Structure 1
């Protein structure tokens, strides 16, 4: 046998196939193009039964559907992520949150309840590592006032799949007799609210602790951006409805190119900076380096760094390699063929608003 025949080649073999032909044959076809994977996951999370533990009495479910560390351990990562966002929203929207955060900012970063609120703000802004630092600082005191920080750590480790550490905090919560309760808020967080938090956070490089986020004065002003909108009363008798669509004043001003009111303009500017970064990522499907991102977006390194961290955490960007950023899976879902990705995303957002308002919601 000739050497070239030993490797599966013959002289009379046809011309080699092109790489495009091999890739076309290797592609995976979508067998269920209309299947709503997000809705299926939500159904599974709601309907998954918890196996009873031998020798333990059955525990009643937590109020408002919270995950119970005494029962739900190990906890599903997606459920932990949703619960953790709801816990953080409840902490920053609490009536005492502003006073606690102010005491933390002005009191030398020693106020424990304020550290919990600050950690929750960091988590909502996309600074996950910094949030865990301040939760550990508060929960390590062993005080009953900081049980919510221990609960955040239980959820955070479950979200990461670190079940050994999650069990540690579950045992600590059981020792304190803590059970989650209160209203559970499943709404999403606005991108401009996340960017507003980053304006009031400094990163301190400690030689022993590493990067530690510290608050700037004025951080309490961003709490209002996370509070739910005030309920709108509807008059049934003889309503006078506008023929045009309802729009936020900031969006109207942006469309007209006019000046917006104080407070709204800065939030809109932060959202525009994030949009500028996303547009650069769209133009470079194979990835782009931070230096080129700065040139094309017009942002400095100090403004670009927290925006990239936030966009990566929310799935709008990703890092395929060292010092390389590309568009994330969230953008691919929004740009699905036929607009199905965007339609599904809007439906999942509008459905909770419809249920909460008790009325039809249209966009």
Structure 2
């Protein structure tokens, strides 16, 4: 299998999406960034409303589970595992890692997909950094999402069903090989055995 460094070197898949998609995404991003600038450093009263950071984390959790429930998830993760050239597979693999709290690995693979121009991955990174209170990085990825060139064919609104705890998914991720990459403490490699089970595992989310 190619190394992660080789995978990163092969990123880049121009595929423009529609003006309507871009306009919708820009509206979402402008709303999120405006809310961040206005309220991002002011937590809501305890027990009343979740903070913006908590909302971002919940949104990202829901979006990640929604991504994995797409019917072609196994195919794309398998292609990422075998060839290292599928930005949609990287988006899905990152979502899987995020759901089992392997957030450094998730950030790496979202970065790989966003580097290939994937708008949804850039949006995920926007939410990731917003959830951590890293407002400058969140704004940067919001702008990247607005100008990205690739978007997966997903429904516009994520399902509202909340993902549950999935010990089988955690166990499958623990079997993956892990690399150390500059700027990331743990980066998991995608593997065929995980792709083979991804639909089964995602169905339980």
TM-score, normalising length from structure 2?
Answer: 0.69
Q: 1:168 to 1:138 in 2, by over 3 A?
A: same
2:32 to 72, 75, 79: 72
| CA RMSD between the two structures | 2.8
Contact 2:73 2:198 in 1 (8 A): no
Runs of 4+ in 1 over 3 A off after TM superposition: 176-180, 206-211
Shift of the alpha carbon at 1:193?
A: 3.4
Q: Specify the alignment match of 1:193 in structure 2.
A: 168
Larger RCO: Structure 1 or Structure 2 (Cα < 8 Å, ≥ 6 residues apart)? 2
Aligned length: 161
Instruction: Pick the structure with greater CA Rg.
Output: 1
Residue matched to 2:43:
none
Aligned-partner Cα distance in 2 for 1:183–1:102: 23
Task: Name 1:99's counterpart in structure 2.
Answer: 75
Confirm whether residue 86 of structure 1 aligns to residue 62 of structure 2: yes
Give the conservation status (yes or no) of the 8 Å contact 1:197–1:222: no
Residue in structure 2 matching 1:214, options 174, 177, 189: 189
Partner Cα separation in structure 2 for residue 173 and residue 208 of structure 1: 22
Question: 1:39 corresponds to which residue?
Answer: none
Asked if 1 retains the 8 angstrom alpha-carbon contact of 2:166 and 2:204, the reply is no
Distance (Å, rounded) in 1 between the aligned partners of 2:131 and 2:186: 22
For residues 97 and 167 of structure 1, what CA distance do their matches in structure 2 show? 29
Change (3 A) 1:78 1:114: same
Shifted more, 68-77 versus 117-126: the winner is 68-77
After superposition, the Cα gap between the structure-2 partners of 1:176 and 1:134, relative to the gap in structure 1 and judged at 3 Å, is: closer
TM-score w.r.t. the length of structure 1 is 0.40
Give the match's secondary structure for 1:172: helix
Deviations 1:204-250 (A, max 9, x none): 13478653211233102133122258xxxxxxxxxxxxxxxxxxxxx
User: Structure 2, unaligned stretches of length 5 or more?
Assistant: 1-23, 41-51
Query: Could you say which structure has the higher helix fraction?
Result: 2
